[in-house]
Structure 1
Amino acid sequence: MSDTHPSSLRPGGPSPSNTPRPESQTIPHSENMQGRQQFSAYGANQEQQPGQQMPGDNYGRRIPQSMYGGQGPDFNVETPGGSAGNNAFVDGPRSRSSTIGQSYPITVEQSPPAMPSMQPLFAQHSGPGLQSMAGASSGSRPASQHGQPGRSQAMNPSVLQPNFQPGSNTRPGTASGAQSASKSPFTTPITSPPRSRPSQILLINPTSNVALTNTMLGSLRPILPPQLEVVGYTAHYPAPTATETTVDQALSTELVLRDLAKYATNNGETVQNFDALLVASFSQHPLIYALRESYDVPVIGILEGSLYVSRMLGARFGIIATTNRHKVQTDDAVHMSGLEHYYAGCESVHMSPMEILASASVNQSGALPEEVTKRVAHAARILVSRGADTLIMGSESMSSLEVIRAAKDAIREEDGRRTVNVVDCVEAGVMCLNALVGMGVPTSKKGVYRGERDGRRARGQNWL
């Protein structure tokens, strides 16, 4: 058999040579590795040269890093403080770094090396002093310091290092960090930028009753926020004095639409530059839907505005209506709005809107007649007994402060507390519109409320 090895040896495999191993033999390192490292039985990158002999052995495996004495990756016996005795495989100066391009001699021992003694394992802990002791990196996962059940507790470093001195705890709330102020979870307040003009809402009274318009504006004056103006509008004669029936609602819709069209802007988006339109009728008035088709600004009625507000304030709401007809109309409106699950019912005071409005203005002292107070109080108590925690004054004629006070006093607790809310329908409608104006969202024109003007004019109907 040849005295030399073939040039291709499997990395880490046994030598096919039958040549007896000498006591000690030096092998120069090859300078051409072609970008690939091959590890021999003793961890050196080697390649046989012609005329050289490779000792056969049965220890062809990769050498673990721990067999180099537990030193760091930059350890070098040639540097000051290093010692060749720390490496069981090297008699002369040698470095653990890459040997590509080096040509120093490597001594191969005859017998397998002795395993070094096992090094103690240190816990991976991010506490103070433990990183310097065990050489752990700063990226180790921190252990829980709160002592909660089910979480791993931090190892006491004094067990591993008797002279360990823990650092001071400067967390807020501790003895050492008590003087440091805790960080507030609240940010600094923000304010809205100044507006060029206040928001303007047009309150539309579809009846010809001017006293009703003044009553609603008087109740709104104390609660209007800054940068908000409400302008009242009263329908002209021959508009009905009340919208109690379907005929009243149909007649008032046609008259108001014709009148407001005179004040529409050139682009047809709104009426006289108003930001929103409020229909002051506690019913599903057809004027609401007609205005949404004609204009782009938000349009709502006081019925739906009060329903949404009451739904957000309590779990069940009840409505105080005027007449029995109005009670049936209100029940149907709540059912169509999809809020019947949160509806505690409706109770009427058996008085028309004109009678309630007249009774509130007759007494100069500002107090309601005793008969009106009793009826309002009786309806409020019945609704509360049914589970209502929010009451809605179900008519624009009940928007006066006297009627609202009568309902609040009736449901007051014996200790003076008032646990049930009373919602003014006109006030709720104004506040809902103010929120929509602030959001800057118009009426959607993709579906049902798409503009009707072009289609009507295409049919030759230019009456509006």
Structure 2
Amino acid sequence: MPPHKILLFNPNSTEGFTTAMTEHITKYYESNDDVHVRFGTAPVEAPASITSVTTSILSAASSLRNILSELEHENYDAIVIACFSAHPLVPMLREMTTVPVVGIMEAGILMASQVGSKPGIITTDKRWEPLLEHEIEGELGLSRQCRAGVMSSGLSVLELETLPWERVGAALGRAAARMVAEREADVILLGCAGMVGLDEVVQHHVGPDVTVIDPVVCAVETAVSLARMKLRTAKAGRYAMSTM
């Protein structure tokens, strides 16, 4: 059997985030011969980071043609959009292809709800707290699966790449420990693709009784499961085929 081919796409134009995901996911699957992950990055005109509804839409508009062009030349079994939000690319691509499309926030929350009763999300700056809470409840309908809510680490998205990892890990660890102490979270979900690979650092801050989850890994594992099951996006309802 040929390996299951997954496209992991970073919808912002910061190559450093793609590099970090490439290194972590490649290492994660290095002994797995039936999974092949290919990595993509939004074009240079896309926002360097996604920090609002506006930048999400600009990101999707910049990235869509690139991904559709990639699908014309390569056959993928599933696609992962690596932005921790209800990113517009996910439903857009579900309308335009039968290939399963997975967002890292949705996959992370669903997986977190399987291993704990009160998951919470640590995000970047305060701006993301109301944005994510609105998307989790209004767009995804998953607020019951994220009962500890969303808490800011005080970092900006780009600081995840520009600051030393020790400082980033310490800030995330403090936010996670505060969420456990104040909101009794039993699962901590890393709330940005730029936090990839930092789950072990955060785990050290919250202790062994709390589970820490990397949503990028969750989403790729979900995509692989959909590929193994040979599932496709349904076209009878919301995701009826659309063209540009």
Superposition TM-score, scaled by structure 1 size:
0.50
- 2:218 & 2:211 partners in 1: Cα distance? 12
Indicate the residue corresponding to 1:331 in structure 2.
133
Moved over 6 A (4+): none
Q: Cα offset for 1:256? A: 1.3
Indicate whether 1:340 and 2:143 are aligned: yes
- Residue 253 (1) aligns with residue 55 (2): no
Q: Which residue matches 1:312? A: 114
1:207-226 matched pairs, under 5 angstroms: 207-224=12-29, 225-226=32-33
**Distance in structure 1 (CA, Å) of the matches to 2:21 and 2:236:** 34
Structure-2 separation of matches of 1:226 and 1:314: 31
Partner secondary structure for residue 451 of structure 1: coil
CA shift at 1:261, angstroms?
A: 2.8
Shift of the 374–214 alpha-carbon distance from structure 1 to 2, 3 Å rule, reads closer
Retained in 1: the 8 A contact 2:123–2:192? yes
Are 2:42 and 1:235 equivalent residues in the alignment?
yes
**CA deviation after TM superposition for structure 1 residue 211, in Å:** 1.0
**Which residue is equivalent to 2:84?**
282
Q: Secondary structure at the match of 2:98?
A: coil
Deviations 1:126-151 (CA, angstroms, capped at 9, x unpaired) = xxxxxxxxxxxxxxxxxxxxxxxxxx
SS in 2 for 1:248: helix
**Larger deviation, residues 282-291 vs 337-346:** 337-346
Moved more, 339-348 or 243-252: 339-348
Question: In the alignment, residue 201 of structure 1 is paired with which amino acid?
Answer: I
Secondary structure of 2:7 counterpart: strand
Distance 1:282 1:220 in 2: 16
1:202 aligns with 2:4: no
SS of aligned partner of 1:377 = helix
Which of 179, 202, 227 is equivalent to 1:437?
Answer: 227
Q: Give the drift of 1:273.
A: 0.3
Deviation at 1:301, TM superposition (A): 0.5
* CA distance in structure 1 between the partners assigned to 2:171 and 2:71 by the alignment: 43
Q: CA deviation at 1:374?
A: 3.6
- Give the CA deviation at 1:292: 0.4
In structure 2, the residue corresponding to 1:353 is in which secondary structure? Answer: coil
Question: Structure 1 CA distance, aligned partners of 2:69 and 2:237?
Answer: 26
1:409 aligned residue: 204
Q: CA deviation at 1:219?
A: 1.4
Deviation at 1:259, TM superposition (A): 2.0
Whole-Å Cα distance in 1 between the matches of residues 42 and 18 of structure 2? 10
* Count, aligned residues: 239
Change (3 A) 1:377 1:263: closer
Task: Map Cα deviations across residues 227-286 of structure 1 (whole Å, 9 max, x no partner).
Answer: 001110011121111111112111121121122233333xxxxx6201111100000111
Which whole-Å deviations, capped at 9, do the CAs of 1:354-378 have from their partners, x for residues lacking one?
1111114xxxxxx513xx3442222
User: C-alpha separation between the residues in 2 aligned to 1:428 and 1:209?
Assistant: 22
Q: Which amino acid aligns with 1:378?
A: R
Residue 244 (structure 1) aligns with: 51
TM value normalised by structure 2: 0.93
Is 1:368 the equivalent of 2:166?
yes
* Structure possessing the higher relative contact order (Cα contacts under 8 Å, 6 or more residues apart): 2
Task: Give, in whole Å, the separation in 2 of the partners of 1:263 and 1:338.
Answer: 31
The Cα shift of 1:330 comes to: 1.4
- Higher share in strand: 2
Distance in 2 separating the partners of 1:333 and 1:247: 14
**Greater CA radius of gyration, 1 or 2?**
1
Q: What is the one-letter code of the residue matched to 2:233?
A: T
- 1:21 maps to none
